A and B are shown apart, each in its own frame.
Chain A
Amino acid sequence: MLHIVDDEEVVRDALSWLAASRGIAARSYAGARAFLDAIAAGFDPEGDCVLLDVRMPDLNGVAVFDQLVARELTQRLPVIFLTGHGDVPMAVDTLKRGAFDFFEKPFNDNALMDRVEEGLAGSRRAGETAQVHARLATLSAREREVLDLILAGNMNKVVADKLGISMRTVEVHRAHIFDKMQVKTAVELAGLLK
């Protein structure tokens, strides 16, 4: 989902139309407040991207970005600034603080959409990584040891020998790991954790 934040209705409409032409779903916000309200109401940033206009009458884009930083959303929610003339130094500063990109108006629309797609993909990836980390966090210490040995390519018997436990116990751990990591095979598990 692409979030378009701009006080100009024409720009919002045009960007929505452009996104739609690339098959990207979009949602428009008439100003910074509206967008921040939506965030405060709680939404899943996974797979999302934000197009943020710098100059807005109620609250400028940088202030909105500061709030996102404060909420630690910038890792999973790529922010692309749309700047007017003369705003470039400010935009560069936001890049250093974690913004995804900035485009100076007037911009190459398809190049912007390419970056939006990258942002969306990145966001999705970031979401998945986060899920894997969450699942790993549910494993017990012995299960982590078993997981590491499995990922190293050891058979159950070797794992049992190395850990000094029975084959049966290894198989129970392995089933728990697969269950917790929501995978069916060791290959799938390795793909998830590579």
Chain B
Amino acid sequence: MNSPLPFDRRAGAAATSPLRWLLPMVLVLLFLAILIWLPWQSREMENNERQEQLIADTLWVEQTIRFQLERNEENLRTVGLDIAGGHLEGARRHARLQSLLKNGRELQRVLLLDAAGAVLDASDDTPPASAAPSPVLSAPSQAAADIARTGKHGRYSQPQPQQPGHPSGDGRAGIDLMDYHLPLFHGGRYVGSLVATYQLDTLLEDMVPWWFAQENQITLIDRDDNTLARRSSAGPGRGVYTHKRPLDLPGASVTLFTDSVKGEPRLLPNLLVGSVVALSLGLVWSLLALWRHISRRLEAEGALRQQMSFRTAMENSLVTGLRARDLEGRVTYVNPAFCQIVGYPPEEMIGKLPPMPYWAPEAMADYQLRFAGVLAGNIVPQFETIFQRADGVRVPVLIFEAPLVDNEGRQTGWMGSILDISERKRFEELNRQQQEKLETSARLATMGEIASMLAHELNQPLAAISSYTTGALNLIKRATGPVDAATLQPALEQASAQAQRAGRIIRSVHEFVKEREPQRQDIAVSTMVDSIRDLIDLQARKFSVAVLTDIPPNLPAVRADRMMIEQVLLNLSRNAIEAMQEVPVARRAMRLVASHDALQDQIRIAVIDQGHGIAADVAGRLFSPFFSTKAEGMGMGLNICRTAIEFHGGALRHDANPGGGTIFTFTLPAALKTPHPIS
């Protein structure tokens, strides 16, 4: 009712949970994809960058080489023009040739050949003898020389490994050499040619800057990919980043091939990548942990929700009112049953301090007293009181209070359960009325049983009266003279006595069946016994039972309802008399014995028979309603007797008579005052 139910609102969200999960999952996947893609991308970029760097560097190296070669060509052409013009001779010419070598170490040697191919001069320190035979040019060099002379343009020869003993070589075998033939013309006439021999590996060593060589293996290759020269100061290339650049020399097919010593950029050692991966793993782990936590939490919430709905259902189904109060007496909780009992909606009670709206004005002092006790911390665990409903009706309630303790064991208030006992009260009242009605009907049933006997018994005195009077009349009619009064007197006296007897019987029956509320009065036992004595005697005579009473004259009076006790006495007497039907007439004696138990101030009355006694299996059910050993019995007699005796605060019990038969004994409280029998 008023209980906050925070979970209700979220109950619907559980149904859309797949959707709710989708977005974070997609985001996380996207994030992971980017995380994976980024390092890859950066690696790609680095890759490209390296490649491009290599290409740029290679280009630069090629330009450098080409530039150097072209400068050498230019120098040669200058010298060649001088030589062809005949301006240079002898030592000067030799010096010029030597000076050419100084421009670059790559030039191993410069030869001046005449038109016939003989060496005129050489850059070597020791000029060859003029008689030197024509130098032995390698075949490709010779071919290049021919083409150059024909074409009148400088031309390179295809590189060729150096021949051992080759005059132009420095003696090292296997070194590739490349010749540049520059034909010299003077006035259109071929006058010779300058041949510059390049040492390719030196070319590489001199032309390629150190920083480039540090990172790459540089190779010069011919058209068949044969290595002509190689510089690999930083070790062999990895073959990952490579570039080929033809040197574009007329006549020679030489390609510059660079191969970086760097491998592909590695992925993992990368700090960025490492941290990203670590972070991703951390993220995934924490997501999983969160997910586990959430699912556990959802589970707990589900269980809690179930508990809550269970509790709510329980509270709603309760007919017992529940009310919680804090330590100041403020109402913090009421359940529907409580609202129903007091007839107020919860919002009119929650948070209220006493006096509460359901306190009945007449019992206000009572409530205040009890509430003061609550504030002092001591309460009555169970009590009955009255609530006033909203419509003014008073409701009797039974309240149980117990301390309300929070999860830390601290008392936070009081929890009370309130039972509406008006039903119970009404039922008790109904029960009481029922019991009284039952007693009445049982009394009437008892009467019914003895009614026929009463008719018989009443017939006796009536018949006697009739006979006496008829006889008297007969005498009077038949008499011829005056009738002797002495003759009639005994008959008329008898008739009168019988009329009185009949009247007494009728009066006692009338008294007995009269219905009324129980009235307690002080009454002597003897008075009650006397008033039913005629009824007892009727039965006793029928079964030839002698009735003996033993009631002390100084017996205190009892405080009792006369009719009820008389009925009990009559019932017990009747049972006693009927119990002796089967025993010999000599033993048929019933005794009514009364005594005073001074210790407990009780009057004890015993009805003693000498009949068949009570069998063990019967004894247990003796007082049960509707149990009877008699064919025509209703089984109400002893039950009602006991109820009647207990109504007076006494007890009814039965014992075996040591002399055979049964003793029924009941006790009644003695009257407070001195006995004054009512008669």
Q: Could you tell me which A residues sit within 8 Å of B by CB distance?
A: 8, 10-11, 13-15, 17-18, 20-22, 55, 57, 82, 84-86, 105-107, 109-110, 113
Contacts and interface: CB of A to CB of B under 8 A. Distances in A.
Contact of B467 (A18, A55, A85): A18
Contact of B456 (A20, A84, A109): A84
A55 B461 CA distance: 15
A107 B464 contact: no
B503 to A, nearest CB: 15
A17 B471 CA distance: 6
A85 B462 contact: no
A21 B490 CA distance: 13
Nearest to A55: B456
A82 B459 CA distance: 11
28 contacts: A8-B460, A8-B464, A11-B467, A14-B468, A14-B498, A15-B467, A17-B468, A17-B494, A18-B467, A18-B471, A18-B474, A20-B471, A21-B470, A21-B472, A55-B456, A57-B541, A57-B542, A84-B455, A84-B459, A85-B452, A85-B455, A85-B456, A105-B459, A106-B463, A107-B463, A109-B466, A110-B470, A113-B474
Contact of A11 (B463, B471, B475): B463
Interface in B484-530: 491, 494, 498
B470 A18 contact: yes
A10 B460 contact: yes
Interface residues of B, number: 26
A3 to B, nearest CB: 16
> A-B pairs with the 6 shortest C-beta distances?
A109-B470, A14-B467, A21-B474, A21-B471, A14-B464, A18-B471
Given A14-B467, A14-B468, A107-B463, A57 B543 contact: yes
B387 to A, nearest CB: 60
Interface string B433-473: 00000000000000000001001100111111111101110
Given A85-B455, A107-B463, A57 B468 contact: no
B460 A11 contact: yes
Contacts of B470: 18, 21, 109-110
B474 A22 contact: yes
B595 interface: no
Nearest to A22: B474
Contacts of A11: 460, 463-464, 467
A105 B478 CA distance: 25
B75 interface: no
Contacts of A22: 474
B160 interface: no
B665 interface: no
A145 B381 CA distance: 118
A84 B457 CA distance: 9
A84 B32 CA distance: 117
A22 B472 CA distance: 10
A85 B544 CA distance: 21
Nearest to A87: B456
B531 to A, nearest CB: 23
B459 A106 contact: yes
A183 to B, nearest CB: 36
Contacts of B466: 14, 106-107, 109
A10 B470 CA distance: 15
Contacts of B467: 11, 14-15, 17-18, 109
A146 to B, nearest CB: 49
Contacts of A18: 467-468, 470-471, 474
